[in-house]
Structure 1
Amino acid sequence: MFWALSTAAVGGSQQFHQVAMWRAVNGFGLAIVIPALQSFIADSYMDGVRGTGFGLLSLVGTLGGIGGGVVATVMAGQQFWGMAGWRCAFILMATLSSFIGLLVFLFVVDPRRKASVNHDAGFNSERDELVEKGTSRVSSVWFESWDATKAVIKVPTFQIIVLQGIVGSLPWTAMVFFTMWFELIGFDHNSTAALLSLFAIGCAMGSFLGGFIADRLSQIYPHSGRIMCAQFSAFMGIPFSVFLLKVIPQSASSYCAFAVTLFLMGLTISWNATAANGPMFAEVVPPKHRTMIYAFDRAFEGSLSSFAAPLVGILSEKMFGYDSKSIDPFNGSPREAFALSRGLLSMMAIPFGLCCLCYTPLYKFFSQDRENVRIAAVKEEEMI
């Protein structure tokens, strides 16, 4: 609902600063949704099929995003009941989001609700003592969650996944320049949109495929199957980045080559989150603190990876000779497209390789950390 109301406010904004403010508020709503969804999936699926659950969530969300983008683009240039189409698109999305929020409130059952009731009734006397002394229950939960977060931060598996996430997010942040790059090559808006849609479809299918394959492989190699899938996906980013940005001729006549490469690239480089990161987090984090841990990871990775886009611009301009004053807005600018492709390659191929290497220590630590969490869970159940 938080997300929906701020979306509607964007549609009703009259000035730029109003749009900027409500988009920032909208970001808070999205920040609430994503960790809660990840925690919900982790709680709803068992270890052996959790990758498929994360993959299904990613597949449906990405396809919905593509469909919403197409609908919004079509509506943007129209008028509805005397109102600009882009405003109607925002209000339509806000209405649908509000309806979904109502359905969630009425019908979705938290998979941990029963366990939480039993836990509150028969355990955690220390927190009850704090309440009796006058400290609010909410405050004690926050302190407990913060203590749990500090404990999880010390877990090697958590540290390694966060580290690879910071490095592995750099190429995805740099990819925001794909639209600009294709138009510099000479593609029109429709062709560029079609290419990026193919890439998004490939990523959506790859997320589900990677989660499914990792689930099957983890049944054969329980301590290393997910890690192998993640390393394969990260490694595939290197040859595809080189082929896309350096091998394919940078001209509008290479449309088919770009289309096939982008689809296959999306299909293979999008496994990490669903095949390894999400499921492995769920196995080394206490269940009742998963939402906070997922939120911490998203905030930490997102904040640091956001530097990738400015770095692409700096490399393209300072090292490879990109000059915005030389751009031809009608016929493309091959020289600037070449310079931008080299900046993109630097911020994609190298981070993909480092990301692949960052997973290697998990072969040693993941099984140990998972066993420690399992033993702690057994002890807590015995106490309850």
Structure 2
Amino acid sequence: MRQRPRHPSPSLSTYPAKMKARTIFGFSISLILINMASILEKADENLLPAVYKEVSEAFNAGPTELGYLTFIMNFVQSASSPLAGILSLHYDRPTVLSMGTVCWAISTAAVGVSQHFRQLAFWRAVNGFGLAIVIPALQSFIADSYKDGSRGTGFGILSLVGAIGGIGGGILATVMAGQEFLGMPGWRFAFLMMASVSLIIGLLVYLFVDDPRKTSPMHLGTDVDSNKFYQLGGKAGLPRISLWRDSFVAMKSVMKVQTFRIIVLQGIIGSLPWTAIVFFTMWFQLIGFDHKSSAALNSLFSIGCATGSFMGGFIADRLSRIYPDSARVMCAQFSAFMGIPFSLILLTVIPQSVDYWYTYAATLLLMGLTISWCASCANNPMFAVVVPRKHRTMIYAFDRAFEGSFSSLAAPAVGLVTERIYGYDSKSISLANGSPQGALALSRGLLTMTIIPFGVCVLFYSPLYIVFKKDRENAKMASSKEQDLELT
């Protein structure tokens, strides 16, 4: 067996010139494009929920059918997420991201031209497949691009800029929905526009983004690891046996981590309210708000969530320097708990009338600021330190697989609860001018799928106070052993 050459210490000078990170005005081109991809990903996710009312009218679909569209996309995304981990083990992540971006762009355009509900459902499933490839690769890319002490802030920035896309996508679709462009309904035209921009971003990512595993030895530990990855280049790949063997080892390693199991368990429950929230736009319109007012309310909530995610990551980074074993868990529990009072205020206390727009606006902004911390302050930064670096994409992929597969049930569950228990009838309710009866029924369905999961989520975080420190130390030891083996 050929012995690898020894390298006494990592040095940038030993890397090929093409592996140096490219910058523009001092900013990393790779991070700029990665964040642009995040913007488009969030915009794409928000398109359909923003036009639920128009889709309901075009396809004669009620809340349950609309919920199934979200369920189909989220379920396929969850089931396909491990593929991102496998691909990222053996191919450079810009290539993986480009593949996923092109896939979701094609499916987004197809949704815009669908003429039957089954066509719509099929292309939403394809859209979920594309997102399954993109999201874990994005998360591991950010984890490799920041140090441990600032990783929460890095994920917060990703969430912040992603929310800009979510806000833009929601506003674009909601405002365009009531108009026509080139003889086409505005909501369909919005989907075609988003698909075109996504294709362009996918191409730019493929051409100009450099994988951190190839550009910086600090993220890998040794020149040998980086050279090994560079030689693979993500292009030729590994032999079939080696590929599946390494993938199985990575999966097995991730599944054994107790911190992973606990975060996934709470995430299964904690993701339910966020999936149910896709009905907010429809709820606002049932109350009687017009397209612009509904879009503004959603935008304020998104702004609050974006700012809150960054704020939560920043606060957790600072507190973790003082309390490294518990600060992130405490921040996550605070954020999850705040979902309970705000859900009660929003859905039961404020009168469901257009006269209370400013009250809704202030409540949604504050709600977004406080309930959006968990991913950036705890989940994503903690995942990055409880497995070896090369398994990071795999742990994010499996997190999406488990959490998403169960949380995807929330959207149709809201529809079923709204229709079966609270009496929502899509055939007798007019969506044109709002419906107090329909708004009340939908709000009660939303309440059921928010306050209970938020409460359970708070409890499920508690075991991390005990297991996180042990898992982090085990990951450090495993990384050190791997580096020693590579150097011998």
Q: What TM-score, normalized by structure 2, do the two folds share?
A: 0.70
Q: What's the CA shift for 1:205?
A: 1.2
Letter in structure 1 aligned against 2:456: L
Q: Among all aligned residue pairs of Structure 1 and Structure 2, give the percentage whose two residues are the same amino acid.
A: 68
Task: Tell me the secondary structure at the aligned position of residue 236 of structure 1.
Answer: helix
Which of 291, 296, 304 is residue 194 of structure 1 equivalent to?
A: 296
Does 2:266 correspond to 1:160?
Answer: no
Aligned length: 372
Letter in structure 2 aligned against 1:153: M
Task: Mark the CA change 1:351 to 1:366 in structure 2 (over 3 Å): closer, same or farther.
Answer: same
Q: How does 1:118-129 map to 2 (within 5 A)?
A: 118-119=224-225
Task: Mark the CA change 1:151 to 1:217 in structure 2 (over 3 Å): closer, same or farther.
Answer: same
Does 2:283 correspond to 1:181?
Answer: yes
> How far apart are the structure 2 equivalents of 1:246 and 1:94?
38
Which of 350, 365, 372 is residue 248 of structure 1 equivalent to?
A: 350
Letter in structure 2 aligned against 1:35: P
CA deviations 1:244-288 (Å, max 9, x no partner) are 111112222221111100111011101111111111011112211
Do 2:175 and 2:295's aligned partners in 1 also have CA atoms closer than 8 Å? no
Do 2:339 and 2:367's aligned partners in 1 also have CA atoms closer than 8 Å? yes
Do 1:326 and 1:333's aligned partners in 2 also have CA atoms closer than 8 Å? no
Q: What's the CA shift for 1:4?
A: 3.1
Do 2:171 and 2:299's aligned partners in 1 also have CA atoms closer than 8 Å? no
Task: Mark the CA change 1:111 to 1:329 in structure 2 (over 3 Å): closer, same or farther.
Answer: closer
Task: Mark the CA change 1:45 to 1:306 in structure 2 (over 3 Å): closer, same or farther.
Answer: same
Which of 307, 316, 319 is residue 217 of structure 1 equivalent to?
A: 319
CA deviations 1:282-305 (Å, max 9, x no partner) are 111221121122112112211111
Q: What's the CA shift for 1:95?
A: 3.3
> How far apart are the structure 2 equivalents of 1:240 and 1:187?
21
> How far apart are the structure 2 equivalents of 1:211 and 1:177?
27
Q: How does 1:222-371 map to 2 (within 5 A)?
A: 222-324=324-426, 326-329=428-431, 332-371=434-473
**Structure 2 segments unaligned to the other structure (5+ residues):** 1-101, 230-236
Task: Mark the CA change 1:262 to 1:73 in structure 2 (over 3 Å): closer, same or farther.
Answer: closer
Does 2:132 correspond to 1:26?
Answer: no
Q: What's the CA shift for 1:10?
A: 4.7
Task: Tell me the secondary structure at the aligned position of residue 112 of structure 1.
Answer: helix
Letter in structure 1 aligned against 2:307: M
Which of 122, 126, 142 is residue 244 of structure 2 equivalent to?
A: 142
Does 2:143 correspond to 1:42?
Answer: yes
Q: Cα RMSD over matched residues?
A: 2.7
Q: What's the CA shift for 1:359?
A: 0.5
More displaced stretch, 226-235 vs 10-19 = 10-19
Task: Tell me the secondary structure at the aligned position of residue 34 of structure 1.
Answer: helix
| Alignment match, 1:52 | 153
Q: What's the CA shift for 1:59?
A: 0.9
> How far apart are the structure 2 equivalents of 1:83 and 1:249?
37
**Structure 1 segments unaligned to the other structure (5+ residues):** 124-134
